[in-house]
Amino acid sequence: MKRVKTVWLLFIAAAVLLSTSSCSVFQIGQKDGPGPSTSAEPEKTAEPSPTATPEPTKYTVTFDLNGGELVSGEAVQIVEDGGAAKAPEVKNGNLELSWDGDFTNVKGDVTVTAKWNKVAMSTTDLAEYVQKRTVTVNVTTIGGGRSAGSGLFIDDAGTIVTNYHVIESATSLSVQVSDGGSYNVKNILAFSQVYDLAILQIDISGNDFLTIYDGNVKTGEQVYAVGSSLGTLTGSFTAGIVSSTSRAVGLIDCIQMDAAISSGNSGGPLVNIYGEVVGINAFSYIGGENLNLAIKTSNLDKLDRSKSYTANDYKEWYITETSRSYSPYDGSDYYYSTVNRYDIVTGSYCLYSYDADLDEYYDGYYDMSEHYVYYYNVDEYDEYVAYLKSIGFVYQDHEVFSGGTSYYYLNEKDGILVDLFVSSDNLNLYIWVTLEY
C-alpha cells in the first residue's frame, strides 16, 4: 500500500513538472499553441541621424538706377553672405555711370545708387551725338512756297522744339530725321510769336533725344551749333564761344555766340561740350561780323501748352489771322502776326500795319518789331486806358513831342506795347500796338 502511494505521488509530481515546462514554452515563444521553442529578437537601437548643413544667410542687394534706364541684368538681386552682386547694365544719355556703394562682399541688405557724371565728349563724338538728334523741318507756306528750318528732339516720344518763325505761315509741315525718314507733323503742341518758339510732335517713339541744360552758360564757354544750313545742308556742325549771356530781342532772352549759323539753322540746337542744349539757334545778323543769337532754353517754360492744334487746324487758324492783317502797300502781302490778339486789345479793326526797321534782318526774319495803328476819338482815352489795365497792361512812361504826347502801356506776358499818342489839338487818339516789344 505504501509502495502504490509513493508511485502515485511520483506520477503527480511528473505531471506538475510537465505542466510547468509547457507554460514556460508558451511564454518564451509567444505562440498561441504548441510549437518549436525560439529565442526573442533583441530590440533595435535607433541609429544617430547625420548633422543637417545650415542654409547660408542671404541678403538683398538693390541697385537704385537714379533716373537711368535698365538695359540688361537685374536691379534687385539675392546674394549669399560674403558673395558679390553683378551690376546691371544701365544707361542715361551720354552720362558716365558709377555706383556709390560696395556690392562685392555682401554682409547685409544693401542699396547702391547710380551716380551719373558728365563727360566732355570729343568734337567728333559730339557732332555724331547731336546730329542724330537734330531734324529738318520742311514747310509749305500759304503762298505755295517752300522753306526749311531745323529742330531737335527733347524726349523719346517724337516731341520737337523749333522756332516759331520756321513754321509760322505753314499750311503743311513735315520733319526729316537723321536717318532720312520723313514724318508729317501730327500736332503743334505749343507756339509763341512773342518768344519765337514752337513745340511739334510727330508719330514716332523710342527716338534718341537731347537733354535741356538747366544751368547758366558763361561767357567764353565753348558751344556748338547744329542744323540744316540753307535748308538743305543737313547736320551742319559749327563751333564757337559764348560772346554774351545776356542779349534781348524784344522780350526774348538770348545768348550771343560766334558759332556760324545761316538761314535754315533756325530751330536747331546750340549745345555745350557735354551735348546739353543751352539754346535754340534763331538769328543771324547779316550786317554784323559773325553776330549770332540763340534763344535761351528757359524761354520754353513760358509757352502756353494748354491748347494744341493739328497741322490742319493750325493752317485754318493762321489763314484766318493773316487775312485780317494787310500791307498798306500790297494787300496780298501777309504779315507775320496774330492780329486777333490786337483786335481784343483795341476793340477796333486795324487801320493799317507796317514793319519797323525793314533794313534789319535776323536769319531772314524781321527784327520782330511790327506796328499796328488804330484811330480813336480822344474822348475815348480814359475808357480805353481803363480797359488796358483790366487786361494786364501796366503804365510804363510817357514822352512829350511837338505834335502831342505818347503814353506807354506794356503787357509783359504777351509782349505787347501800346503807345497812346494824344495829338496836341486834343482831337485825335492814335494807338500803335507793337508786337514782341
CA 79, 84, 88, 91 dihedral sign is positive
| Cα dist from 38 to 23, 257, 402, whole Å | 14, 116, 148
Please pick, among 165, 229, 284, 325, the residue that the annotation labels catalytic: 165
Is 398 annotated in the active site? Answer: no
Is 203 annotated in the active site? Answer: no
Please pick, among 192, 196, 228, 284, the residue that the annotation labels catalytic: 196
* Matching residue, cell 526774348: 252
Please pick, among 150, 169, 266, 325, the residue that the annotation labels catalytic: 266
Sort strands 58-64 and 110-117 into parallel, antiparallel or unpaired.
Answer: parallel
> Three-class SS of residue 260?
coil
Is 266 annotated in the active site? Answer: yes
Alpha-carbon distance 100 to 98, whole Å? 7
Residue 334: alpha-carbon gap to chain centroid = 35
| Cα dist from 128 to 123, 125, 132, 261, 310, whole Å | 9, 5, 6, 18, 32
Residues annotated as part of the active site? 165, 196, 266
